[in-house]
Structure 1
Amino acid sequence: MLVVEDEPYLAEAIRDGLRLEAIAADVAHDGGTALELVTTTAYDAVVLDRDIPGVHGDDVARRLAAEHAGVRILMLTAAGGLTDKVAGFELGADDYLTKPFAMRELVVRLRALARRPAAASPPVLELGPVRLDPFRREVYRDGRYIALTRKQFAVIEVLMNARGGVVSAEKLLERAWDENADPFTNAVRITISTLRKSLGDPWLIHTVPGAGYRFGERPEGERP
């Protein structure tokens, strides 16, 4: 997620609250920075304040709707009148939440938006014996429920979305942690190790030496 909010304390509180829910989040304090970040990072959604410095939030919404159709927009603003809400949706917002707000409601709304992804990304992921429901935050293997931590869930979701492709440790840090994650951390390796054990045998997450990790049946020549 990208949080676009010019009030530093609120922006940090939202980012930290999302991280507690295993939702990786970056922060932009103005419209221009937000547009730059969207062009370099594949965000699933943007939490957007309307009254921000630089490029106004309304113009950011227009640009996102026109140039980044796959990015969901949740407007989070103090402008709570009916006219304001109608204008927000007309600008391209997918959802609208007014301040003050409850963090839990923001999280639920963002997960609801995830149920309406781009056509290339199905709402429920099924790969081999594993079924992942991103809205209910549930994972099953051969019909058996697998209890995962929030970070484990975030990692397996990224791997399954790759549809058998290799995902680098750097990309996992970017998608399941955030842009400020220490590139030298062993968090990815540790999370992959515990995730494999949680999913059970035979292992479905395989290491591709020098490249990253792949989810699915074990390809010839790759080690677990």
Structure 2
Amino acid sequence: MRVLLVEDEPDLADALAAALRRHRMVVDVAGSLRAAEYAALDAAYDVILLDRGLPDGDGLALLDMLGHTEPRAAVVMLSGMGAIADRVAGLDRGADDYLSKPFALDELLARMRAVVRRPGTRKPRTLQLGRLRFDTDMRHAFVNDTPLALPRRELLALEVLLRNKRCTVLRSALLARVYEEGNDPKSNSLDANLSRLRSRLDDADAGVEIHAIRGVGYLLREARAC
């Protein structure tokens, strides 16, 4: 499960992120509303754990932005603002659940599993662009109906690019997904992986191209006719 934790208290953020990673989740942490907005646009999350009292605004503002994204991540509010009016405000603005601080980890995990199971929160099984197709359940790539064999890191990069097709994906978002926890890639490792992936897609005539945005990130789009 891919999780975005939006929490400005460093000790709590570190402890909760570590606990979620022990349950085999991939966790990104954002300490402000602005950072959370960038992260939510740059990567595909299953669940967003969202605090309200952020240094640059109310976490509810992120719910307004998420309402325009597709597919939409499930949102669980985690807040010290636990009055009935606060909980109602969060749910009415689009949160899938609202858990008041302090909370038990086991209850949080159960609520996360529950919101992911709800209709409308599951990501599409198939991502497609050009002649390229990606099965998100089996984690296999195909060109038309022919399997496309890819190493793990190239497959992870392809999934991120397909989930954000025709949009620029920041290098930081790709690095977080491709190398995940506990890895410290060299500065050119991502570029090398993307270069190899580009060559494989070209050789397979997938009908797509990976475009590098210098100093920013990468964009996956339909191949342009010669």
TM score, norm. by length of structure 1? 0.59
C-alpha deviations, 1:61-98, integer Å up to 9, x for none? 21112335521110000111111111101111001101
Cα distance in 1 for residues equivalent to 2:138 and 2:41? 20
- In 1, are the aligned partners of 2:17 and 2:29 still within 8 Å (CA)? yes
Q: Please tell me whether residue 118 in structure 1 is matched to residue 94 in structure 2.
A: no
User: SS in structure 2 opposite 1:96?
Assistant: strand
Q: Any stretches of 5+ residues in structure 1 without a counterpart?
A: 123-157, 185-209, 212-224
Secondary structure at 1:66 match in 2: coil
What is the identity, as a one-letter code, of the residue corresponding to 2:137?
Answer: N
SS where residue 83 of structure 1 aligns? helix
Contact between 2:45 and 2:73, CA under 8 Å: does it hold in 1?
yes
Residues 169-184 of structure 1: pairs in structure 2 closer than 5 A: 169=153, 171=156, 174-175=176-177, 178=180, 181-183=183-185
Unaligned runs of 5+ in 2: 127-133, 142-149, 158-174, 187-195, 198-226
Deviation at 1:164, TM superposition (A): 2.7
Q: Cα 1:169–1:177, aligned 2, differ >3 Å: closer, same or farther? A: closer
Change (3 A) 1:20 1:51: same
Contact 1:31-1:55 within 8 A present in 2 as well: yes
What residue in structure 2 maps to residue 164 of structure 1? 140
In the TM superposition, residue 183 of structure 1 has moved relative to its aligned partner by: 3.5
Q: Does 1:94 align with 2:96?
A: yes
Deviation at 1:112, TM superposition (A): 1.3
Identity percentage of aligned residues: 36
Query: Deviation digits for residues 95-125 of structure 1, max 9, x if unmatched?
Result: 1101000111111111112212336249xxx
Q: What does 1:46-57 align with in structure 2 at a 5 Å threshold? A: 46-57=48-59
Name the structure 1 match of 2:111: 109
- Aligned to 1:93, what secondary structure does the other structure show? coil
Aligned residues: 151
Residue equivalent to 2:76: 74
Closer, same or farther in 2 for the Cα pair 1:160/1:67, shift >3 Å? closer
Which of the two has greater strand per residue? 2
- Distance, in Å, in 1 between the alignment partners of 2:137 and 2:70 is 19
The one-letter amino acid of 1:169's match is R
Kindly indicate whether the alpha-carbon contact (under 8 Å) linking 1:46 and 1:73 is maintained by their aligned counterparts in 2: yes
1:84/1:36 CA distance change after superposition, 3 Å: same
C-alpha contact 2:116 2:122 (8 A) present in aligned 1: no
Write the distance in 2 (CA, Å) between the matches of 1:68 and 1:39: 10
Per-residue deviation, residues 163-192 of structure 1 (Å, max 9, x unmatched): 5315741628855973663347xxxxxxxx
Gap change, CA 1:167 and 1:54, over 3 Å in 2: farther
Q: Which residue of 2 aligns with 1:40?
A: 42
What SS is found at the alignment partner of 1:161? Answer: coil
Root-mean-square deviation over aligned CA pairs: 2.8
